Chain A
Amino acid sequence: AQTVTQSQPEMSVQEAETVTLSCTYDTSESDYYLFWYKQPPSRQMILVIRQEAYKQQNATENRFSVNFQKAAKSFSLKISDSQLGDAAMYFCALTSYSGAGSYQLTFGKGTKLSVIP
């Protein structure tokens, strides 16, 4: 079984500042993918960034970047130059081959990010 843990239920950041959201995971698979999804108040699930476990280089998407520490099974999300539109629930998620062919995502409980003007 695979698990994803987000230990910060809520975080806040000043507009234009940088914030880091934490995520740890556990899986017995050697090949897997990690994701961060954003869920604004509209409750739509939006893919923010993804990381292939076999890649050592940390993924980056504009103001969003990750710190992937494979040995520590840690996958944190850094948001630079925070904007009011970044306020949302952020979910860390993991997928690996489950053997049943479904490649289902396992989500953490989420971190609610508030951005202070």
Chain B
Amino acid sequence: EPEVTQTPSHQVTQMGQEVILRCVPISNHLYFYWYRQILGQKVEFLVSFYNNEISEKSEIFDDQFSVERPDGSNFTLKIRSTKLEDSAMYFCASRRGAYNSPLHFGNGTRLTVT
């Protein structure tokens, strides 16, 4: 069964550094998402992407965050200048169609900011 794949599985970075988290959604999916889960807390929506543009973003997704789908397969989340509070598990997800199709999650990237 096709999977959403995320790399790296664990990223350690120093405060103030830029990080790029990478995702390869399932190939025939059209909607792409990033979610965040701070340790011990609930999964929070960051941003959704459809038709090569952001369709919705949360309050968390400020100017330090950006997303790209540079080559039709990869879907990246960039954090320009990381803060300690950005430490979390970041999940990429994709779905084939509208909201009646299930959301498929990747295994996540654990980001640790020191």
Contact = CB atoms under 8 A, between A and B. Distances in A.
B95 interface: yes
Nearest to B32: A102
Interface string B93-114: 1010011101111011010000
Chain B interface size, under 10 / 10 to 19 / 20 to 34 / 35 or more: 20 to 34
B55 to A, nearest CB: 4
A102 B56 contact: yes
B99 A91 contact: no
Interface string A94-117: 011110111111111110000000
Nearest to A52: B100
A91 B110 CA distance: 19
A103 B107 contact: no
A2 to B, nearest CB: 11
